[in-house]
Amino acid sequence: MNKKIKISLVMLMGVLAITSCGKKETPQTEEPTEATETPSDEGNKPAVSNVLVIEGNDQMQFNTNELRALAGKPITLTLKHVGKIPKEAMGHNLVILQEGTDEAAFAAKAINAKDTDYIPASEKASIVAHTKLLGGGEEDTIEFTVDKKGTYNFLCTFPGHVAMMRGVLIIE
């Protein structure tokens, strides 16, 4: 009797295993529908706009590290310093570099360019556009056009800020 019970138990488990396998297959057919939802991540990407506004704060941060704009059309970019600390201690600017520029080398030269608000005159050829150096509560708007599609690094060249204040301007 015991053997028969054991055998029937084994058979029952076998049946359960088969049915559970069968059940596992049905969710798999649902997975593609879930996968189609993942492109909604693209909603997190910043909208392409040639009117750009970016903020810098007293915590040495930009409020975004990615900007997007269209090639060949004028771009209006406003940098707002939303903090309160004066520019001597917490100055912010936004400098957009030509593709291929060595950002670390550029930032190193900028540190020594205090007289020109940390914009190194010798590196003008590497700069697409830049704002003024701002203190808390100030803002600056610049206009420029980028003809070539690509990914351009931007940074704040105030000494020490590039470690945290940097990002990319994607021109498409």
Q: Which residues sit at the interface with Cu ion, rule CB under 5 A? A: 92, 156, 158, 161, 165
Q: At 42, phi and psi to the nearest 5?
A: -65, -20
Instruction: Name every residue whose Cβ is closer than 8 Å to that of residue 130 and which is 6 or more positions away in sequence.
Output: 93, 94, 95, 96, 119, 142
Q: Which amino acid is at 18?
A: I
Inter-CA distances, 147 with 94, 126, 134, 141, Å: 19, 15, 27, 20
Cβ-contact 153, 103 below 8 angstroms: yes
CB of 131 to Cu ion, least distance (A): 11
Distance CA 8, CA 10 (A): 5
> 57 or 101: whose CB is closer to Cu ion?
57
CB of 80 to Cu ion, least distance (A): 12
> 50 or 158: whose CB is closer to Cu ion?
158
CB of 92 to Cu ion, least distance (A): 4
CB of 133 to Cu ion, least distance (A): 8
The residue at minimum Cβ distance from Cu ion is 156
Distance CA 56, CA 48 (A): 20
Closest listed residue to residue 158, CA positions, set 98, 87, 100: 87
CB of 75 to Cu ion, least distance (A): 21
